[in-house]
Structure 1
Amino acid sequence: MMKARRGQIYPSKTVSRFGTCWTYKSWCVVICVVTFILVLSGLHIGWDFPIIIKNGHIYYPILFCLALFYTITNYLFAALHDPGVIPRPNADEILLVEKEHNIQTDLEGKYFPSMPPPTTIFVKNCSYTSPYCYTCRVYRLPRVTHCSVCNVCIQNYDHHCPWINNCVGLLNHRYFSNFLLSCSLLCIFAIVGCVLAAYFRWNSYKDQSGLFFAYNIPSFINGFVGILLALALFPFWCNHCGLAMNAVTTKDMSRGQDLKDNEFSTGSLCQNLILSWCGPLRPSVDWNALYDEDHYKKQEEIYKKIRPTLLSNTLAIPRQKIKEHIQSLALKNYFAINQQIEAFYRTNKKTSQRNPSLIPVDDIHYLPMHNIEINYIDSNQVNVRYLLIEAVQPTNISTFWNTIWLRNVLSIVMLYEINENNSFIQYWPDEKNPSIKVNNNCYQVDFIRILKRLDIVTSQFKIQKIDENETRIIEHHQIKNWTETTFSLDPIALLRLQYNIDYREKEERIHDNNRSIIAIHSCEINTRAFAYMIIDINRHLLIKYNYINVLNTITRLNEQLPICLINDHVLMVIYWVILHLSTWTYLSDIITLQDKENPYQSLSIHHNIVYFIDSYIHSKALMLVVGRNRNGILKIISTYKIQHCFLFQQSSHLDVDFIEQQQLELDTNYPSSDFRRYQNDQSMTFIYQPINSIRNILLYELSRLIVDLDQNDNIPILICIDEIRVGAIIYLLANLMEQFNIDNTVDIYHQARKIAYSCPAFRTEDDFRDIYECIKVWTDHDLKSQAN
């Protein structure tokens, strides 16, 4: 018999053909055991009974037949009787319990991602911790245990006996014990009968030993089997007799049950034994009367139909299961994500009575805003507030800055780019226009500094209400590479931004009683703002409570927004970013959640392999070429409009033919002890040639040159190399230098994984050893320079 899978919806055939008999299991074992008993008993009756009766022992056959009848009867009762199976509830009862206790399942009803929590119940004024059976869908009463073989819960479960092919429980334990006793007596009677028959044959064949042994072979077999069974079954019966006298089961003893502290004992061994073997029992369940033949199949269909209506409120995922869950969502062309969207729309239909939190700030210069406030998710406190502001246009720029001041906003997250619409304007000061006055010269906003990164540009402003002494420092974060249909920014950069904003809000408001509010600035109520808030709220959940609940977060946000914004792209972006949040690494196996081709595919140009790499502040600003075909290098320079090309190959310092062929002129004003710089009048590209062998050039020195060029927007930059690892380390050091200059921190592993995504580098332990050796040389030099 194949073992039923645990956690399935209604996996067992629980309808009996004989009323109270539990017969969904195989009949083979029962038939074999009964046949074994009848065959041996028939052999004994046919071979030994005649000689025993002939010698006047009429009583023996009567006793043996009574013992045989008693044995067969108790065996059939033990094997075929309902052992005390707990009926499974109907679909509506299961769903009610799952909703009340926040039990996690997927749309198919499989428990996900963890064991449901236990609950406390009272029995005879005593409290018990009741675990939830995630197969039978019930909270277990005391002494109820799930049998993994039968796949059902059994009251007073003792053990599963393979010889009766049934569990031993409340309703058949006495029959099982009686079977052990009667079978032991039957074996003893058989042994006695075999001895009597052999004794009487000895009187007839004592002079013919050969015939004596020949005639007694069946008796010897029966006697030997009887001895083995009696030695096995009688001690087992004595054990069960002791268990019954102490009012415990085998399962209780295996759990270390204290016999002195047993609420089910009457206090008397005899009364316990009488109550267990002779006391009244609850009537067995008549399965035919209770259920139709296809009852569980119908309940399964009902469950799967209704379950999605509860899914959006019961899908909490602990940290250790996040990666497994998100990877399962990506299977079958994101079928599970579509299921979640379907479930959400079933349970969150919009109604006309909803009052969205739309805030009309100014009747003349109207600027649509939405105040979002989420205090609890799944009864867990999060306390987050967002001010969702639509795009600023020339008519409402004063309203925007007035709102920022009145609401004491310290962080603005801008989720659109100016070029998305011709009516959008730059409403903040910059290096070219360092100061602006708005709202009829009521406010003055002064530029402080700007921090450019690949995906996020951060600007700092000082805002002051004119004629007042109070000033505030505001950080403005413009997120790039994120549109309504594409998500190309680094998830780690987005998460780091949310952490930094959260940290700054706590630091700035440490003595301020006002709760922080984050201004999310989008061109309209769109999926970007929606996804940003969901990611940030689940980040709070994961930090404080070690789990996420995306769909419940969506439900809570949707209650405060006038339109529903969930679709498959939104969920893919949310889960992809949260996957990085749970692991904080740039894993290659999570790229499957991106619904687009890899934009960093390498190219082959005239047998030269070209790799594209992001710098810390520009996309595809860095390029590596492996190969020595000069015509290919020239084509790459012209095709991608390379501004700076470094020849960093063996013997590059001796390669004068290339310099002469291109008629390059030496730049005598270039101050470097490692490279000569060349340029001709027809090209805007600078060519850098090593002065000496590249072995004498420290990699971080070249990285520092690249940083200077990248920060001054002199890109793209090309390095010609022999070994891809060397070029990858040069660009990695450059990115780490830029990250340290901008954020005062470095993330070595993440930056290395990003470069490894673009080119075949940093795959082995030796590669990472080389990385850290180069980083050590760089940091040691900088520390010594600072010390001097």
Structure 2
Amino acid sequence: MTPGGGSGPMKDCEYSQISTHSSSSPMESPHKKKKSVPKRKWEVFPGRNKFFCNGRIMMARQTGVFYLTLVLILVTSGLFFAFDCPYLSEKITPAIPAIGGILFFFVMGTLLRTSFSDPGVLPRATPDEAADLERQIDIANGCSSGGYRPPPRTKEVIINGQTVKLKYCFTCKIFRPPRASHCSLCDNCVERFDHHCPWVGNCVGKRNYRFFYMFILSLSFLTVFIFAFVITHVILRSQQTGFLNALKDSPASVLEAVVCFFSVWSIVGLSGFHTYLISSNQTTNEDIKGSWSNKRGKENYNPYSYGNIFTNCCAALCGPLSPSLIDRRGFIQPDTPQLAGPSNGITMYGATQSQSNMAAATPLLQSEPSITSEELPLPGKTSLSGPCATLTLGQPTPPSSMPNLTSDSGLTDIIPLKEEHEGHQFLTPEEAPSPPGLLPSGSPIAHSRTMHVLSLASQDSLHEDSVRGLVKLSSV
């Protein structure tokens, strides 16, 4: 205490509470780094596609015709509900606008489901997978290193007794599954590829074919429905006021009739064509190429057909929907950090991944504690190398940097100078020294060369040669 009361320096002390929840350490930087937001897979998708709503909507890049399809359906149906349905519901029945509304919503639902979904895109091979596949192709075709011969890029599989060729995709670096093909507009391999439809703005494949078929089938019914009742509306009005006056009273009906007349033929024809494809279990791509025949007796019969129209339709329209293979909304996983090599200057020459794994599991390839000048063996002191002491009798022992020294041997020259190891030869299993347990502790070690003082440079050189010898022995 200071004289004069409690108004001394102790009174002016302020205490700050130390936060125990702080995760900072003395080794961390005082400036906090900004956390990087992980990217989703659709943001780096290699194909030519457009994504909306954080990857939930997937479409082709060329979507101009899709918007035209959307405008034609919306305008034609809107004019029908606004100008024709009030008169028809009053003169005939209120069920007409109700049925038209059900058809309209079903058409729009199937159209958006076809356009906004993944058609069955196959993921591309990673660089490691592509390199491994290239090695398999070279081995299977016996490519020699003497001259370059491009290997064939096909595989053959048997499906229901029919030989099917699997073609190699040079863009995706994969062998495409049966019935898959590469779309040149979207730049993707699509499973059970049917065709690329610009009217829906997407490819038509395994995952959206049933919705495409229901779209064109329901659109055919809606077009015929609107066209029939527009003509009915005009006829009923013409009976009252004449044909020309009926056209003047309802000009929207004329526009609807013209649009439906020119579109109904193509839509109905397309629906019939795909009904035939579904009944025979074919795709548009296979039918155009003439890949299969519907007759079982022929050599190129369709191996995917069940032989029954009803079964083929159920398989195409009622089968389970396969999940998406590209996981476009998933997060990109960061690369796995590579294990750092030993810090004592060991170099792995020509090591493959399997050899690296072997080195990680082998105690001899792990980093040994470095020997400093203070830890040099003195005469009369016995020392053993750390890793060598853990070996069993059944394992070969490479040349150790610190062999057994007995008290009678004295300071001997075990490691030649660095320049003397230029002609170093690897030891064979027969020439490898015995494990430490088999060497008598009292046997002297004779040397014919001049003794040298153990230096750090010679230790590193011998350690490197020892590892090389072990890798050579392991490869043999």
Q: TM-score, normalised by structure 1?
A: 0.33
* 2:186 is the counterpart of 1:146: no
Shift in Å, 1:216: 3.4
Choose from 267, 282, 286 the match for 1:248.
282
RMSD: 3.3
Does the 8 Å contact 1:21/1:81 carry over to 2? Answer: yes
* 2:273 is the counterpart of 1:239: yes
Classify 1:51/1:114 alpha carbon distance in 2 versus 1 (closer, same or farther; 3 Å): farther
Letter in 2 for 1:138: I
SS in structure 2 at match of 1:264? coil
Shift in Å, 1:210: 4.2
Classify 1:252/1:291 alpha carbon distance in 2 versus 1 (closer, same or farther; 3 Å): farther
Does the 8 Å contact 2:83/2:250 carry over to 1? Answer: no
Q: How does 1:518-667 map to 2 (within 5 A)?
A: none
Partner of 1:176: 212
* 2:328 is the counterpart of 1:276: no
- CA offsets 1:220-250 (integer angstroms, 9 cap, x no match): 2211211222111112111111111111111
- CA offsets 1:165-222 (integer angstroms, 9 cap, x no match): 211111111111111111111111111221222123224313xx54322123321221
Does the 8 Å contact 2:58/2:118 carry over to 1? Answer: yes
Does the 8 Å contact 2:56/2:329 carry over to 1? Answer: no
Write the distance in 1 (CA, Å) between the matches of 2:79 and 2:323.
39
Write the distance in 2 (CA, Å) between the matches of 1:55 and 1:352.
109
Does the 8 Å contact 2:59/2:202 carry over to 1? Answer: no
Letter in 2 for 1:34: L
Partner of 1:67: 103
Write the distance in 1 (CA, Å) between the matches of 2:77 and 2:151.
50
Letter in 1 for 2:310: C
Shift in Å, 1:35: 2.1
Write the distance in 2 (CA, Å) between the matches of 1:214 and 1:237.
35
- CA offsets 1:498-543 (integer angstroms, 9 cap, x no match): xxxxxxxxxxxxxxxxxxxxxxxxxxxxxxxxxxxxxxxxxxxxxx
SS in structure 2 at match of 1:119? strand
**Higher normalized strand content (fraction of residues):** 1
* 2:265 is the counterpart of 1:217: no
SS in structure 2 at match of 1:129? strand
Q: How does 1:100-139 map to 2 (within 5 A)?
A: 100-102=136-138, 117-121=153-157, 127-139=163-175
Write the distance in 1 (CA, Å) between the matches of 2:151 and 2:266.
39
* 2:298 is the counterpart of 1:263: no
Q: How does 1:459-478 map to 2 (within 5 A)?
A: none
Write the distance in 1 (CA, Å) between the matches of 2:223 and 2:88.
17
Write the distance in 2 (CA, Å) between the matches of 1:174 and 1:80.
14
Shift in Å, 1:132: 0.4
Choose from 210, 220, 223 the match for 1:187.
223
Shift in Å, 1:96: 1.2
Does the 8 Å contact 1:147/1:154 carry over to 2? Answer: yes
Letter in 1 for 2:108: I
Does the 8 Å contact 1:14/1:287 carry over to 2? Answer: no
Choose from 247, 254, 260 the match for 1:226.
260
Note the residue ranges of structure 2 that are not aligned, 5 or more in a row. 1-44, 140-147, 296-300, 337-350, 353-421, 427-476
SS in structure 2 at match of 1:202? helix
Q: How does 1:347-426 map to 2 (within 5 A)?
A: none
Shift in Å, 1:20: 5.8
Write the distance in 1 (CA, Å) between the matches of 2:307 and 2:277.
14
SS in structure 2 at match of 1:153? strand
Letter in 2 for 1:41: S
SS in structure 1 at match of 2:156? strand
Write the distance in 2 (CA, Å) between the matches of 1:151 and 1:263.
28
Write the distance in 2 (CA, Å) between the matches of 1:159 and 1:114.
30
Partner of 1:416: none
Partner of 1:89: 125
Identity of aligned residues (%): 26
Q: Number of residue pairs matched?
A: 285
* 2:114 is the counterpart of 1:78: yes
Letter in 2 for 1:235: G
Letter in 1 for 2:122: I
Classify 1:23/1:116 alpha carbon distance in 2 versus 1 (closer, same or farther; 3 Å): farther
Q: TM-score, normalised by structure 2?
A: 0.54
